[in-house]
């Protein structure tokens, strides 16, 4: 029987270079030949805990080799892996846990007691903990078991993972990704980016998003590549590791920060074959400065949690600054205007696409899922784009009210809801403004009920428990009036135009 479990595909590569390091971090390393034995321990632990195929495993932990093993073990066991940003607050977690109702929740050891209380309240069974220093109750559990040889048999549309993405209404949606979704995209990218036998990936991204987890790690595993696995992005550290690597992936902020470093030059990039950027728009200015400094062109691609990668600049052909390249092989894409018609080349519309990488739907939201697809089965991305006569796509904006700050998505609505709950705030409006480091900066414009000198300190304090830090406004400005059109809709474009230089001066 064919096993379409993504792990089974990965496992075919474990013995290609058995002695090669798969992950090498500041805390240790693991060789390809040991992945199966090691993940077998996690599989045995799942079995002891009574976890079944299709059960959810929610994970909010530091980046570590063991966190990757946990991901691989979930695939192998047929459990649904749900990684969460480590910045999420307890309030945010409450939503994710109650929505996904996991059979296992893995958290940081320092938060374990408080998470146990939350889990008890939500009637969740298993809470364990881990961090990159191998502390936490997960490691005690692993000592109690012997490695299992079990690999679950999966169909290609069985769920492998759920990625929560925020929504315009302020409520996060869980994008359900299947084994086939993940495998098909990784295989296409492996070929499109011409991965080579001895490529070494420099990995500085977090592993709770599609970029660091599925794009970076899935390809590396399929290619049996070594991964230099950094705990987080630090420009000086990245520069010191670049001579040991051939491929790096990052959000635009990484490249902006590298260019701010004197030590970033041609010589440290001498072994590099490919720099890839995505998750947010890469400014032409960054692309050009990068080329001037290193002689290399960053390859920009475009994707989403719901679909993984959709378009990419070519590996061999021209990479054009400000564009995200061509639809990847196996993807059908089109750009549609307000009348529902396909636009002519150069005109702007909403990008829609279909392909084997498109997710199965939003977890427990069939109605919402329906709304995001056209009757003929295209997924509506919500991104505004145009296509050149050559077929190159340019993302020109977003139909959805979304801010992308340093590669993290922030939906203004969610921040506005949190602000409007503060009793001394009469009204709020949240917009993204251009920012040299983060690309866009979350900015709040508020009207107070009455004068309050301490408003900013008080607001920041109140937001601490509610929203992850990266969602907090970088600036909070007072307004007398919020501009609205005749329908009463806030005219955010007027505010964005008025304050466009706020962070640039
Ligand atoms: C951290 N902070 C941020 C932030 N990251 N604020 C706004 N935007 C961000 N992205 C805040 C912290 O809360 C903290 O606030 C302060 O900045 C410093 O924290 P830090 O941990 O030192 O942050 P820093 O190292 O500067 O992190 C910035 C970053 C990081 C850019 C290195 O955010 C990052 O690695 N981003 C990558 C995101 C990513 O992987 N995206 C892929 C999504 S997948 P304070 O107030 O305490 O000082 C996707 C699909 C696709 O979109 O196509 O790929
Ligand atoms: P997420 O929901 O976190 O998966 O974020 C996906 C969104 O990031 C997309 O819908 C785009 O708006 C944006 N995005 C990803 N890559 C790019 C890119 N290269 N250029 C512009 N926007 C991008």
Tokens linked to 242 = 């670049």
Tell if the pTM clears 0.85, that is, is over it: yes
Residue 467: which CATH number?
Answer: 3.30.300.30
Which among 135, 154, 173 is the end of a domain? 154
Report the distance separating Cα 5 and Cα 81, nearest Å.
13
Which among 109, 125, 154 is the end of a domain? 154
Report the distance separating Cα 430 and Cα 412, nearest Å.
5
In a domain, residue 120? The reply is yes
Q: What is the pLDDT of residues 261-280, one digit of tens each?
A: 999 999 999 999 999 999 99
Structural domain including 433 reads 403-498
Q: Tokens 């994970």 sit at which residue?
A: 59
At residue 467, what are phi and psi to the nearest 5 degrees?
-125, 145
Report the distance separating Cα 85 and Cα 87, nearest Å.
5
Task: For residue 408, report the distance from its CA to the centre of ligand 2, in Å.
Answer: 9
Ligand having the closest approach to the CA of 325:
2
Query: Does ligand 2 have an atom closer than 6 angstroms to the CB of 158?
Result: no
Helix, coil or strand: residue 270? coil
Query: Does ligand 2 have an atom closer than 6 angstroms to the CB of 353?
Result: no
Helix, coil or strand: residue 160? strand
Task: For residue 217, report the distance from its CA to the centre of ligand 1, in Å.
Answer: 19
Tokens linked to 445 = 């414009």
CA-proximal residue: ligand 2, atom 6 (nearest): 304
Residue 43: which CATH number?
Answer: 3.40.50.980
Task: For residue 205, report the distance from its CA to the centre of ligand 1, in Å.
Answer: 10
In a domain, residue 282? The reply is no
| pLDDT score for 505 | 79
How many domains does one find in the chain?
Answer: 2
Report the distance separating Cα 331 and Cα 478, nearest Å.
46
Which among 132, 154, 176 is the end of a domain? 154
**How far from the centroid of its chain's Cα atoms is residue 168's Cα?**
17
Q: Which of 407, 411, 442, 443 to mutate to test the pocket of ligand 1 (most atoms within 8 A of CB)?
A: 407
In a domain, residue 95? The reply is yes
Query: Does ligand 2 have an atom closer than 6 angstroms to the CB of 432?
Result: no
Helix, coil or strand: residue 344? coil
In a domain, residue 245? The reply is no
Ligand 1 atom closest to the Cα of residue 304 is 50
In a domain, residue 384? The reply is no
CA-proximal residue: ligand 1, atom 11 (nearest): 470
In a domain, residue 417? The reply is yes
Which residues have any ligand 1 atom within 6 Å of their CB? 205-206, 209-212, 233, 251, 253, 278-279, 303-305, 405-408, 438, 469-470
Q: Which residues contact 15 (CB under 8 A, 6 or more apart)?
A: 32, 33
Q: How many CB atoms are located within 10 Å of the residue 71 CB?
A: 25
Report the distance separating Cα 117 and Cα 129, nearest Å.
14
Task: For residue 427, report the distance from its CA to the centre of ligand 2, in Å.
Answer: 29
Q: What is the DSSP string of 407-445?
A: TEEE-HHHHHHHHHTSTTEEEEEEEEEEETTTEEEEEEE
DSSP strand pairing (247-250 vs 274-277): parallel
In a domain, residue 124? The reply is yes
What HEC string does 171-230 produce? CCEEEEEEHHHHHHHHHHHHHHCCCCCCCEEEECCCCCCHHHHHHHHHHHHHCCCEEEEC
In a domain, residue 414? The reply is yes
Q: Which of 87, 185, 250, 278 to mutate to test the pocket of ligand 2 (most atoms within 8 A of CB)?
A: 278
CA-proximal residue: ligand 1, atom 28 (nearest): 406
Q: Which residues of the chain have pLDDT under 70?
A: 170
Ligand 1 atom closest to the Cα of residue 233 is 32
């Amino acid at each position: 029987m064919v096993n379409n479990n993504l792990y089974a595909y990965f496992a075919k590569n474990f013995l290609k270079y058995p002695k090669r390091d798969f992950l090498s971090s500041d805390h240790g390393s693991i060789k390809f030949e040991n992945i199966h034995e090691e993940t077998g321990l996690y599989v045995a632990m799942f079995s002891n805990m009574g976890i079944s195929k299709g059960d959810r495993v929610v994970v909010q932990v530091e980046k570590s080799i063991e966190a990757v093993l946990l991901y691989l073990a979930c695939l192998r066991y047929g459990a649904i892996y749900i990684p969460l940003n480590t910045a999420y607050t307890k309030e945010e977690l409450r939503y994710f846990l109650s929505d996904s109702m996991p059979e296992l929740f893995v958290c940081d050891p320092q938060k374990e007691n408080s998470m146990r209380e939350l889990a008890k309240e939500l009637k969740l069974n298993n809470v364990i903990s881990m961090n990159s220093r191998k502390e936490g109750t997960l490691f005690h559990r692993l000592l109690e078991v012997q490695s299992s040889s079990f690999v679950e048999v999966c169909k290609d549309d069985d769920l492998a993972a759920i990625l929560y993405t925020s929504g315009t209404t302020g409520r996060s949606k869980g994008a359900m990704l299947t084994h086939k979704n993940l495998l098909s995209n990784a295989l296409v990218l492996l070929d499109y980016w011409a991965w080579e036998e001895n490529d070494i990936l420099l990995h500085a991204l977090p592993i709770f998003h599609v970029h660091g987890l599925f794009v970076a790690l899935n390809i590396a595993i399929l290619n049996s590549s070594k991964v230099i696995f950094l705990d987080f992005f630090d420009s000086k550290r990245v520069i010191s590791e670049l001579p040991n690597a051939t491929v790096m992936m990052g959000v635009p902020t990484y490249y902006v920060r590298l260019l701010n470093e004197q030590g970033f030059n041609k010589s440290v990039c001498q072994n590099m074959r490919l720099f890839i950027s995505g998750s947010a728009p890469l400014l032409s200015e960054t692309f050009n400065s990068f080329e001037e400094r290193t002689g290399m062109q960053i390859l920009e691609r475009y994707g989403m949690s719901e679909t993984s990668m959709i378009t990419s600049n070519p590996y061999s052909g021209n990479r054009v600054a400000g564009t995200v390249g061509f639809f990847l092989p196996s993807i059908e894409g089109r750009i549609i205007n307000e009348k529902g018609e396909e636009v002519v080349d150069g005109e702007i519309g909403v990008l829609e696409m279909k392909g084997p990488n498109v997710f199965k739907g939003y977890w427990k939201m069939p109605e919402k899922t329906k709304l995001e697809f056209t009757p003929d089965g295209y997924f509506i991305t919500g991104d505004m784009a145009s296509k050149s006569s050559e077929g190159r796509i340019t993302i020109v904006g977003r139909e959805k009210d979304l801010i992308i700050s340093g590669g993290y998505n922030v939906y203004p609505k969610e921040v506005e809801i949190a602000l409007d709950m503060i009793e001394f705030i009469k009204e709020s409006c949240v917009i993204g403004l251009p920012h040299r480091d983060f690309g866009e900066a979350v900015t709040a414009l508020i009207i107070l009920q009455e004068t309050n000198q301490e408003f900013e300190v008080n607001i920041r304090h109140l937001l601490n428990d509610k929203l992850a830090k990266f969602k907090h406004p970088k600036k909070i400005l007072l307004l007398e009036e919020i501009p609205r059109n005749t329908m009463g809709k806030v005219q955010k474009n007027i505010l964005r135009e008025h304050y466009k230089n706020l962070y640039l001066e």
